Chains A and B, each alone.
Chain A
Amino acid sequence: MRWRDTFRSGFEAILGHGLRSLLTILGIMIGIAAVILTVGLGQGAQSTVNSAISALGSNLLVVTPGSTTGSGGVRGGFGSASTLTLADANALGSKRVAPNVIAVAPQAETVEVLTAGSSNWTTSVVGSTASWAEVRDRQLQEGGFFTRQQVSGADDVAVLGSTTASELFGAKSPIDQTVTVNGVVLTVIGELTSAGSSGSTNLDDMAIVPITTTQQQLFTGTFATSVSTIYCEANSSSGLSGAYQEIDDELLAAHHIAQPSEADFTITSQTTIASTANSVNRTLTDLLAGIAGISLLVGGIGVMNIMLVSVTERVREIGLRKALGAPPTDIRRQFLVEASSLGLLGGIGGVLAGLLGTVILPHLQSNPVTISPLATAVAIVVAIAIGLVFGVYPATRAARLSPIDALRSE
């Protein structure tokens, strides 16, 4: 048969079995779109976590109380007896003790009610030192951050996050206004530039107060004596491991701990956070790829079924065509054209549906959706291959029957 006639016969067969062709195309489409979307969601989540991590600041080491040991699991913890103190932070700030550390910002925080005039707002109050803004890589949109002198003087001042400021003062400038926390009146001296959110934490909803002020006037109990986190900024990314060692040595000595494995604190670097988050993410991506693979398999089995049924139904037709002198090549080609046209239509439809999904999905949930070219390509190849194999293979088998056996089949 001429190629033109082969194509015409193929298209006539596709149109002639409209519903069945549509179902085949739909099966391929759903398989491909499912893979594009699930892998896209996984990769989107990964990029969200990565940007949250880089928002922490650069060359950062984070010291937290409690420790994770290989055998004993977690000892201590964030809320329980905090083992870190302001003295620890001050020690780390010394050039002699930790030359690779250029700035230290301890952080003690609790949730308090802030009152300004008639409005009040519940948010986290963070006690820290003058290096906080530098260490956390934050800018001020108005006013200034408190100084070393204000910290040592335990001045009643506060710097507000942009959300906190607008909740308390509306559109009005918060500078030189006052807020009351636990009966202490603080003067607002600055407002932070918006930094969005990191994971579940809103970086714009907080009030930063000199840690001396929180310890002496605002906080009570362990919150007044200990700190929940010490942020240390290393001089460079190459100095990070040196800084890690210095902090580790100093804190072990200060806490009188002989065995490093007994440490009651944990030092985390941004890179370890990133690699942990990445491995979590990779697991997540693998999981989603697994789900996508299963949906591809289910779609593939659907396609396989329809193809097998449609070819079986047409064994008589194959027998007749053979009886009229169709060589096996012509029969194989006719079904090849049919199956690959269905596969191609399904493939195009699946990619379009997937792309449409990546546009729509971000409006329905918070994570972005990225398109993975590899997953898309694999999905297209697999879906079309399934269509081809199960469209052509049974037809080729039927073409091997004698015309009469094929004509009598059913």
Chain B
Amino acid sequence: MAAGSADSVAVDLAVDDMSEPTGRVPRVEGGEPTGRIPRVDVDGDPTLAVRSPVIDMKHLWKTYRPGSLAVHALRGVTLNVDRGEFVAVMGPSGSGKSTLMHIMGCLDIPTSGTYELSGEDVSEMSENSLAHIRNREIGFVFQQYNLLPRLTAWRNVELPLMYARVPAPERRRRALASLQQVGLAERVDHRPTELSGGQQQRVALARALVTNPALLLADEPTGNLDTASALEILGLLQDLHRSGRTVVLITHEPDVAAVAGRVLRIRDGQIDSEEVAA
């Protein structure tokens, strides 16, 4: 089934970012970021793709000290994610996947080790450039969704655009388009408490997609969905990947991981194995 959705968008391959509103991803015009994370079309010919890492982590440790006891969530993780790659992260519960993802998304800081994003050391970036990166270049789907309970679905989705200083009418247009993409056109005026878990998850995904980010980080984005909806979302992620985005997603399901170009397995805060899909 994963192959089926890939087929349907095969025509989009090698099409430039700006030109298409074809296929499953109705790209919203305007606000196309020219950020430090470039989109490259590696699917055209993977062997020719220049290996230039977007994410470059070396000996990353993350230690929590909730009490007197130290919890090592990450123990020396070293990994690269290249431009335009689609990476799945798998591992047992509590193995440190979310922790890794938060650091990747510049939402948390490692206890030690270095993290370079597009060649730039994140620990040396200013608050403002970090905010800019989180806003314009990274789309993050939280495992816990993290929607603002007082705002309706579309107002939640428009939030990142507010910080990008996009004018209000365009914000609404893009938020609605993004919600339609995840199949929630009927629920735009509902508050999170009036939505099912799976619907909330899709609002969170729509919010991550609305800024058209170059790097999409999704923490179990299909964890609460039925198979059909999950496939739909997966197809969406694949489309994004095909149009040049770098996608890293956490999953427990082998089916989902199978779609990715590479699977990273994490155990006890360490990379256990790495396998490249055939």
Contact = CB atoms under 8 A, between A and B. Distances in A.
A327 B135 CA distance: 9
B49 interface: no
A5 B108 contact: no
Chain A CB count within 10 A is highest, among B107, B135, B150, for B107
B102 A404 contact: yes
A328 interface: yes
Interface residues of B, number: 27
A12 B158 CA distance: 15
Contacts of A328: 127-128, 131
Nearest to B139: A324
A331 to B, nearest CB: 10
Nearest to B160: A324
A1 interface: yes
Given A325-B131, A327-B127, A402 B107 contact: yes
A5 B162 contact: yes
B109 interface: yes
A325 B108 contact: no
B165 interface: yes
Interface of B is mostly: helix
A5 B168 contact: yes
B140 A323 contact: yes
Contacts of B148: 317, 320
Contacts of B109: 402
Contacts of B105: 323
Interface residues of A, number: 25
Interface in A75-104: none
Contact of A323 (B128, B136, B146, B165): B146
A363 interface: no
A322 B146 contact: no
Contacts of A402: 107-109
Interface string B109-135: 100000000000000000110011111
Contacts of A323: 105, 107, 134, 140, 142, 146
Interface centre among B128, B134, B164 (most CB of A within 10 A): B134
Interface of B: 102, 105, 107-109, 127-128, 131-136, 140, 142, 146, 148, 150, 159-160, 162-165, 168, 207, 211
Interface of A: 1-2, 4-5, 9, 12, 16, 316-317, 320-330, 402-405, 407
